[in-house]
A and B are shown apart, each in its own frame.
Chain A
Amino acid sequence: DQQVKQNSPSLSVQEGRISILNCDYTNSMFDYFLWYKKYPAEGPTFLISISSIKDKNEDGRFTVFLNKSAKHLSLHIVPSQPGDSAVYFCAASARRGGADGLTFGKGTHLIIQP
């Protein structure tokens, strides 16, 4: 049973436009969410995080939105650049309670077209 779902395995966006990556979760104990970016042959690199007490967090070109009632979060990248082409993972954590570490989605492969 997947507790964190990224329903789009891939997404193609033109350079300069907005990239929107989506993530849904089912476990209401999750209270901390993170986005990671992964290039081939490298480990995941942390991008941005958000606590469940917030609904938005911004860091440069990256903004994460959290809708707790819908159990949905999204990552917006504006403007998209060629170097953003990578696999993006959404991850969630139940900081108090629960035996798991980070629970990851299966990733979305973002391709930025020139």
Chain B
Amino acid sequence: KAGVTQTPRYLIKTRGQQVTLSCSPISGHRSVSWYQQTPGQGLQFLFEYFSETQRNKGNFPGRFSGRQFSNSRSEMNVSTLELGDSALYLCASSPGPKEAGNIQYFGAGTRLSVL
């Protein structure tokens, strides 16, 4: 079974631009969560999608948004990029929403650098 696939693996953008990251979950998994990892803050939860609906959202500004498609693939978008958005963005999938207590399986991440 293929794991969680994130594209692209690396991305360089300039301040003020916007970016879209993509995540394909493990086949059969319907929940996708996104996390941001930075050296200072560690791994922080962005949002969770289940059945195309945002179920949970972390403490991030509205510039961070996402969506999930009917095939469970997910995208996250960051608008008006700031230098502080430079981070590793990780996507995780699980069979069900967090209430089900399922294990989350992570992709390798997208490394975003904002210049």
> Which residues from chain A sit less than 8 Å from chain B, CB to CB?
32, 34, 36, 41-46, 49, 51, 89, 91, 93, 95-96, 99-107
Contact = CB atoms under 8 A, between A and B. Distances in A.
B98 A103 contact: no
Nearest to A101: B45
By secondary structure, the B interface counts as: strand
B4 A102 contact: no
A43 B107 contact: yes
Contact of B58 (A44, A89, A101): A101
A99 B59 CA distance: 9
B106 to A, nearest CB: 3
Contact of B45 (A41, A89, A100): A100
Interface residues of B, number: 26
Nearest to B97: A95
B103 A46 contact: yes
Given A93-B98, A101-B33, A102-B45, A46 B56 contact: no
Interface of B: 4, 6, 33, 35, 42-45, 47-48, 56-58, 90, 92, 98-101, 103-109
A105 to B, nearest CB: 7
A96 B103 contact: no
Given A100-B58, A105-B42, A107-B42, A95 B98 contact: yes
A102 B108 contact: no
B14 to A, nearest CB: 24
Contact of A99 (B6, B35, B57): B57
A93 B101 contact: yes
A43 B106 contact: yes
Given A41-B108, A42-B108, A93-B98, A104 B103 contact: no
Given A101-B45, A104-B42, A45 B106 contact: yes
